Amino acid sequence: MISVQNLHKKFGKNLVLQGVDLEIEEGGIFAILGPNGSGKTTLIKCILGMVIPNKGTIEIEGKRIKRDWKYRHKIDYLPQIANFPSNLTVEELIRMIKDLRGKQTVDDQRLIKLFKLEPFLKKKLGNLSGGTKQKVNIVLAFMFDSPLIILDEPTSGLDPISLIRLKNLITEEKAKGKTILITSHIMSFVEQVTNEIVFILEGKIYFKGSISELKSKTAQPDFEHAIASILQQSYD
């Protein structure tokens, strides 16, 4: 599904990605993890075409994405911080995104009901709480039937019931054969939903594999301690 080869990205003198090589197979849930400043967000933005790498190639479904913006129609994206126009209502925003995407939605009405957004449809986005905005963000990310879904910190601001519904939604999309990339600082969430993790450290892939393989590699009894072990090595 995704092939990243020898990817480099520099911002000024700061080398953020240093020769990243990564293969993401089609189907399944993959968590991209790493400490702040490790390069994971830059990698995702390169895949989305929001950041242009200094060197290297990215292919999606066997085609290079450089100078080919149309590949983005195959991606649904949930940003970590959604800067919605505060003067729009929720239903106006959903309608606008439908018009911009220009393709048939799958189940936006089901998602609205799933996350109990009916009372907020006519409310302006600037008046909503952070958690409600995140639910709107989730609806926008899942209402199109695209083969690749990228979720950047999707649990932010969610109440426990909405978090359970999000987990179920991600599992449903996986069952359809979709490829899902997730970044999250909530290790319990990552452990519950992902098939494999990709850990980035100082702009390089430190580890790619299952959680059990990571625990074996670090000789730690659980996932959180395995991640802490990697982070401790980076600080030493």
Domain boundaries, the chain: 2-235
- pLDDT of 234: 66
Strand, helix or coil at 193? Answer: helix
Rounded to 5 degrees, φ, ψ at 220 are -115, 150
For the record, the structure tokens of 140 come out as 């926008």
- pLDDT of 235: 64
Cα–Cα dist 115/132, whole Å: 9
- pLDDT of 103: 66
Contact call for residues 170 and 114 (beta carbons, < 8 A): no
**CATH number 3.40.50.300 is the correct assignment for the domain at 2-235:** yes
Q: Please list the ranges in the chain whose pLDDT falls under 50.
A: none
Report the sign of the C-alpha dihedral through residues 110, 115, 116, 118, in that order.
negative
- pLDDT of 236: 58
pLDDT in tens, 16-57: 999 999 999 999 999 999 988 889 999 999 999 999 999 999
- pLDDT of 69: 84
Strands across the sheet with 55-60, in order?
Answer: 14-24, 2-11, 55-60, 63-64
| Long-range Cβ contact pairs of 81-85 (< 8 A, separation 24 or more) | 82/133, 82/134, 82/136, 82/137, 82/140, 84/125, 84/133, 84/136, 85/125
